[in-house]
Amino acid sequence: MATFEAKVKLAKDSLLQSCEVKRQVAEKDSETIVRMAELIISTFQNGGKLLIAGNGGSASDSQHIATEFTIRYRGSFDRPALPAIALTTDSSAMTAGPNDIGFENTITRMVEAYGRPGDVFLGLSTSGNSENIIRAMDYSRKNGMKVIGLLGGTGGKMPPLCDESIIVPWNSSNHVQESHIAIAHIIVQIVEETLFMK
């Protein structure tokens, strides 16, 4: 069993690593964050919606992000709901899909059901190599949607499928997912202030 001091060091080191990863994203990708927000703003202004998907923790992050749009990001900022859907929330679809058409095709099927030309698909992947998200991105592009990627590691296979992507420079999911949520919060704030703060 590690000593108390060793556990304190672990906590401090992990927090400082997370700060350093976010610092690198801030230096490299702040303009990309704004371009992502502007894509979403344009989509909402034109009557479109945002579809979001990921696997595991990134599926939970998809729900988190969608809720920031549909309910609101900051309790002190009152504004109308914005149309964002986390595609991974329907447990029947998420189990019937793998059973009937294969796990790798399930998110694409959800995009087919809900996506329309002019919408935006946001894919989250800590590796950039999740086959079900790759297929959903490819389908989205081929069917007139814009594609945004919040990725990690080297970005994997996804960057060429994205209109805009951010690759968080970390090779395990913890700090990548922390950064994805931080980026998403900034995007939501830019979107709601642009659309509703006069």
pLDDT in tens, 133-166: 999 999 999 999 999 999 999 999 999 999 999 9
Confidence of residue 196 (pLDDT cuts 50, 70, 90): very high
For the cut 70, the answer to whether the pLDDT of residue 35 exceeds it is yes
Q: Say what the pLDDT of residue 106 is.
A: 98
pLDDT in tens, 47-57: 999 999 999 99
Q: What is the mean pLDDT of residues 30-55?
A: 98
Q: Say what the pLDDT of residue 148 is.
A: 98
What's the count of helices (H) and strands (E) in the chain, helices before strands? Answer: 6, 5
Q: What is the mean pLDDT of residues 87-93?
A: 96
User: If you average pLDDT over every residue of the chain, what do you get?
Assistant: 96
In this predicted structure, which of 16-25, 74-83, 136-145 has the lowest mean pLDDT? 74-83
Confidence of residue 129 (pLDDT cuts 50, 70, 90): very high
For the cut 90, the answer to whether the pLDDT of residue 2 exceeds it is no
Residue 177's SS3 state is helix
End-to-end CA distance of the chain: 56
Q: Say what the pLDDT of residue 1 is.
A: 60
Task: Give me the half-sphere count of Cα atoms (radius 13 Å) on the Cβ side of residue 44.
Answer: 22
pTM above 0.85, yes or no: yes
Please tell me the distance from the alpha carbon of residue 50 to that of residue 103, in angstroms, as a whole number.
22
Name all domains of the chain by residue range, CATH numbers in brackets: 4-196 (3.40.50.10490)
Please tell me the distance from the alpha carbon of residue 187 to that of residue 153, in angstroms, as a whole number.
21
Q: What is the mean pLDDT of residues 24-47?
A: 98
Q: Say what the pLDDT of residue 76 is.
A: 78
Please tell me the distance from the alpha carbon of residue 76 to that of residue 100, in angstroms, as a whole number.
45
